[in-house]
Amino acid sequence: MKFIGKTKELITEIDVFCDTISRSSLVFKSGINNFLEGKTERFHIDLEEINKLENEADNLRREIKYKLYIHMLIPDSRGDVLGLLETSDNVVDSIKKVLSQFDIEKPDIPKFLKDDFRQLAQFSVDTVDEMVKASRAFFREISLVNDHINKVHYYEHEADKIEEELKRKVFNSTEIKSLSEKVQLRYFAERVALISDEAEAVGDRLSIYVIKRTR
Amino acid sequence: MFTILFFLSSGLFLGWSLGANDAANVFGTAVSTKMIRFKSAAIICAFFVIIGAVISGAGTTETLGKLGSVNAIAGAFTVAFSAGFTVFVMTKMKLPVSTSQSIVGAIIGWNVFAGFKTDYSTLTKIVSTWILCPVLSAVFALIIFFIIKKFLYRSRLHMIKLDLYTRLGLILVGAFGSYSLGANNIANVMGVFVPVSPFKNIDFSNIFVLSGTQQLFLLGGIAIAIGVFTYSRRVMETVGSDIFRLSPIDALITVMSSAMVLFIFASQGLQSFLVSHGLPSIPLVPVSSSQAVVGAVLGIAIAKGGKNINHGIIGKISLGWVATPVFSGIITYILLFFMQNVFLQQVFSK
């Protein structure tokens, strides 16, 4: 009977963990938009929110890990699940770091680059969303994982393209005078795109898990 | 009483070794994949082995009795001792061995020594059942594999929930497997002592009667249980990784199919049901649980596409069908000679 209770708890915790990552990506999008539009107060609310979510994700990850080992659950998939949770947690960590870097450095983003930054953030968010869907499918319906992973790769590739375009625009621009400013903008373009890279790393891990379980 | 216990000791030793080795066939994969703790597995296994032995042990014992009814207790001691010795030696030599095959060889050895004719129709029935056992187990595993695969595809169970159901399944199937092991294999341990059983029926105030044979089986069951608790842990922890890495669901299928085979060849109820419905009867024969497990694992391997099958294992099983009874028979003959002429014990009566 104890087992049944623990099983339900664990399923809920894994679901909540996935929700937390999903919400983090939404907060990321909102944070970038608020920063670009100069809505400082709202941006700070997003920053607070992402700190909370990062904390929550950490606690959930620890709790799930603890339960899996103490109650010896899914012994053959435990390592894979923990690896999945850890890499997914990296996505939230990166979101938090990028937003707080925006807060610290307050980069001056020229008007002609704002749309590119918005688009880049959107592709990163799309990558994370598909990654979360793939993770949920891994737990419930493994045959669907690959469909989501394909989308993860697609959005990550799109994010890469925008990132490169954005960097070219920065360094070809005559409007941005100093090299330091250009380097700083390149850095932020790379940071925003990093979220999609982290999500793709989770996707790559999941595709190996699928091969392990279906061949 | 002491003399009786002394003569029974070889059977009890055989029971102990059966518990130490064959319990791993039932719970080994569950324990080695860490789905069930050894302690829980040992308790369930011991309990159901005893129940199976006492309630359903008579069918296979009758078949062994038809092959050769050892009619002197010193003879029964020697037969069980030789069978146990054969299992011990062949295990040391890392050869595949089954208590069932060993005891049959020993009984034939006794028949030859005592000058009794071996009933060849019973022998043919036994040997054909040995061959049928892994084949049937593989077929069951193949069928169950596809049923479970289809069910899992449709059910969309959460991985954690599936883990819970697999655990519960392993416990249930393990209990059934232990019951079947006790029912099918107790004849190997105590069968030869039945004709010379020293025990009298015990009447529990008219509620139920524990017959002399059942008391023998209870003792044998306890010996198996002691084997499970004292020595099976190491065997259980390695059995899963021995053949190849089985997933917990594969483990469930393996135990379910081999338990079904052991049950079919031990159940008098099923036999009389088939006969009463005009269907072909199933012989009640002690079979090898290890070979049933190997058959099931092969069945799963075939279901998964038939890659990486170690064909050597099939040769090894066939070797066991011949080498074990021959070796055991010869040992029995030699030991009976010593028992009769050196220790001056009556090993058979005409």
- CA dihedral A136→A140→A142→A146, nearest 10 degrees, is -30
Tokens of B215: 């008391």
Q: How many residue pairs bridge chain A and chain B with CB atoms within 8 Å of each other?
A: 40
Given a cut of 60, whether residue B202 has pLDDT beyond it is: yes
User: Is B160 in the A-facing interface, judged by CB distances under 8 Å?
Assistant: yes
Ranges of residues in chain A whose predicted pLDDT is under 70: 1-3, 215
Q: How far is CA A65 from CA A62, A73, A109, A117, in A?
A: 5, 10, 41, 36
* pLDDT tens per residue, range B55-90: 999 889 988 888 888 888 889 999 999 999 998 888
Given a cut of 80, whether residue B350 has pLDDT beyond it is: no
pLDDT value of position A128: 98
Give me the percent of chain B exceeding a pLDDT of 90: 44
Contacts B152 to A, Cβ<8 Å: none
Given a cut of 70, whether residue B94 has pLDDT beyond it is: no
CB contact under 8 A, B167 and A4: no
CB contact under 8 A, A76 and B164: no
Q: Could you give the ipTM of this predicted complex? A: 0.83
Rounded average pLDDT over B21-31: 85
Contacts A74 to B, Cβ<8 Å: 159-160, 163
Q: Minimal Cα–Cα distance from A31 to chain B, Å?
A: 34
Please state, in angstroms and rounded to a whole number, the distance separating the CA atoms of residues B108 and B110.
Answer: 5
pTM of the predicted protein model: 0.85
Buried b (16+ CB within 10 A) or exposed e, B228-241: bbebbbebbeebbe
Residue type, A99: L
* pLDDT tens per residue, range A130-170: 999 999 999 999 889 999 999 999 999 999 999 999 999 99
Give me the percent of chain B exceeding a pLDDT of 70: 95
Tokens of B324: 């074990």
Q: Minimal Cα–Cα distance from B167 to chain A, Å?
A: 9
DSSP for chain A? -HHHHHHHHHHHHHHHHHHHHHHHHHHHHHHHHHHHTT-HHHHHHHHHHHHHHHHHHHHHHHHHHHHHHHTT-STTTHHHHHHHHHHHHHHHHHHHHHHHHHHHH-----HHHHHHHHHHHHHHHHHHHHHHHHHHHHHH-GGGHHHHHHHHHHHHHHHHHHHHHHHHHHHH-SS---HHHHHHHHHHHHHHHHHHHHHHHHHHHHHHHHHHHH-
